Amino acid sequence: MSDLLQKARKFEAEASGHITAEERPAFHLTPLCGWMNDPNGFSYYGGKYHLFYQYNPYHIHWDSMHWGHAVSSDLLRWEYLPAALAPDMPYDCNGCFSGSAIELDDGRQLLVYTGVRQVRDEAKKIRDIQVQCVAFGDGKDYQKYEQNPVIDSTMLPEGASTADFRDPKIWRLSNGKFCCAVASRPSDGSGQILLYTSEDGFKWSYWKVLDANKNRLGKMWECPDFFPLDGKFVLLASPQDMICQKEYSGGNGTVCIIGDFDEKTGKFTEISNQTIDGGIDFYAPQTVLTPDGRRVMIGWMQNWDSCGIREEGSPWAGQMTVPRELFIQNGRLCQKLSKEFFARKKTDVSFSKVIVENERVALNGVKGRVLHLGINLCTDSDSYSWKMRVAENDNFYTELVYRVRENTLTIDRRHSGSRRALRHIQECEILKKSSELSLEVVLDKNSLEVFVNGGEQTMTVAIYTPLEADGISFLADGKIQMDIEKSNLTF
């Protein structure tokens, strides 16, 4: 074990001891200490789910990327393991960036990640050199391969950037070969996803371009994932520098492309594209295939455009979303809460045919910061808007607004307690126009996740509101009928 990895493990063991369970969410993974961003190496190995993450144990801001590590039996209760990787080799001395994991034929777990080192170019500017590397281990301790990097600039197609070449996602083809999708920036300044193959996971060959952005959806595509689902293939990526268009918001966003894939030729034929989440804080999702055949996704519940929301002195920064099962319905990627989540849900109170009009309504027993709400709304021609406030007291609240005539759902966290003028409002156009709207709302201390109409759309936002703000209230402009069920979550 290197000195840098020993240092990180010693530091995190001491620092995490000062963070109480009350300071963390009940069932969303946070870093052991310090900073967290992209989920990495989401996999099932040795009878447990493994989730690694981009990690700076020393501070609550991005720097000197390590890999943090946690395991779980149910995707909700996580046990921290020591840091898995540190930037301790010449080829990754400026960071062990994102990647993935898979089990080898001999039973070892293989980590595939991006190593980063910085150089000065001819203009004396510092730039990254990004290469793909592997490490192998037993589910707790990992050894970097002596012949790293396994994919370097000599294996790039013509015109591809050596500075933007990262985030390998590994899987196996039906013929047993290992395949890896890697994010790349071509000469047009846009993004593309490259494919590499290997017989053993260590010696790799360039195959082809899986898909190219061609400046359609943002610029560089990061953090690809690629998998079969319900008879189609799904490519997930996180574009940088998007402009607002259709259902996509600006800045750093997410894209799902559904299409057909020919394993023999490597040809991917696009059919449709969509955003993955319509909220403020969702990026770099990664999926795992569960032992019972479900495709489950977890994303980073933050956004590069709103990272400053965490203040100095906070015990940690960054968290992951709740696990979401994926399925395709009517040609779109949909998401629902995992069955493990529902096993933890117990109905507390319910109300039917509640009329909400022009006065704010609070319902007996409907309050708290760790809960699930099932809400069905019925509207008519006189209905204009419905509002729900959560994490509410005299000083704070976060608001969910349904504008009936515009058929939009808006998250507004301006009053959640943030001291930064960041992106705090996000509007999402609802796909289906109807007199009824179904919502599932998940609250967990520092987050709000909304599932619309059975998971056709989702909206996610981080809220760092003081926990004493636990009220929930409702208001309507016009008359709206509401059925609501509040469930407690036990852990």
Cα separation, 54 vs 318, in Å, equals 10
Q: Is residue 23 within 8 Å of 31, Cβ to Cβ? A: no
Please give the full DSSP string across 305-337, using - where no structure is assigned. Answer: GGGGGSPTT-SEE--BPPPEEEEEETTEEEEEE
Is residue 38 annotated as part of the catalytic site, yes or no?
yes
Q: Measuring CA to CA, how many Å separate 388 from each of 345, 470, 477?
A: 21, 13, 12
- Give all strands (DSSP E) within 200-290, no chain letters: 204-212, 221-229, 232-239, 255-262, 267-274, 283-289
Coil, strand, or helix at residue 170? strand
Are 87 and 131 within 8 A, CB to CB?
no
Choosing from 38, 128, 277, 444, the catalytic residue is 38
42 token code pair: 């989401």
Question: How many residues in the chain?
Answer: 491
Residue located via tokens 């494919």: 195
Question: Are 36 and 52 within 8 A, CB to CB?
Answer: no
Asked, as a colleague might, if the bond just before 149 is cis with ω within 30 of 0, I would say yes
d(CA 185, CA 162): 8
**Is the CB of residue 168 less than 8 Å from the CB of residue 149?**
no
Nearest-angstrom CA–CA distance, 435 and 478: 14
Whole-number CA gyration radius for the chain: 23
Whole-number Å distance between alpha carbons of 475 and 368: 18
176 contact partners, CB below 8 Å, separation of at least 6: none
Contacts of 123 (CB under 8 A, 6+ apart): none
Grouping H, G, I as helix, E, B as strand and the rest as coil, residue 8 is helix
Task: List residues with catalytic annotation.
Answer: 38
